[in-house]
Amino acid sequence: MIIRECTFTFAKTKTMTTQEIADRLIEYCRKGAWEAAQKELFANNAVSIEPYATPAFEKETKGLQAIIEKGHKFESMVEKTHGLSASEPLVAGNAIAFALTMDVTMKGRPRETWNELCVYQVKDGKIISEQFFV
């Protein structure tokens, strides 16, 4: 009888703190790398909440894949991004907030500057919700 000994090594991944997530999220947002941020930092069951429903977007989007698809739809509507800035993040407990300013031209519309407050909730080292206020 031959007995094989197998050894498995599992890399322990450290759960990110809310501050670490905030710092990483700001890096991504300042580059406009929305999908990269979502793939790395969001939970699979995350929820995205807009200020209000529009003909193009529901008020609430559930699930990481649906949030990524919403981002693709938004990007397809942008003719040109002229500028993008994000304030330093404010972290309190499991919450992150920062101001985001986007200078954009949407297809078929004049150039606009949008200012919004972005608020995120973190649980178990992942973003579980994002909500935008204008």
Domain presence at residue 33? yes
DSSP code of residue 48 = E
* Contact criterion met (CB below 8 Å) for 50 and 57: yes
How many other C-beta atoms lie within 10 A of the C-beta of residue 76? 8
Q: Please determine, for residue 19, whether its predicted confidence score (pLDDT) is greater than 80.
A: yes
For residue 31, the enclosing domain spans: 18-133
Q: Please determine, for residue 74, whether its predicted confidence score (pLDDT) is greater than 60.
A: yes
Total domain count, the chain = 1
The model's pTM: 0.88
- How many residues are given for the chain? 134
Domain presence at residue 89? yes
Average pLDDT, the chain: 93
Find the CATH number of the domain harbouring 27.
3.10.450.50
Nearest partner of 112 among 68, 78, 85, judged by Cα: 78
pLDDT-derived band at 11 (thresholds 50, 70, 90) equals low
**Residue 93 phi, psi dihedral angles, 5° rounding:** 60, -120
Q: Which SS3 state, helix, strand or coil, does residue 35 take? A: helix
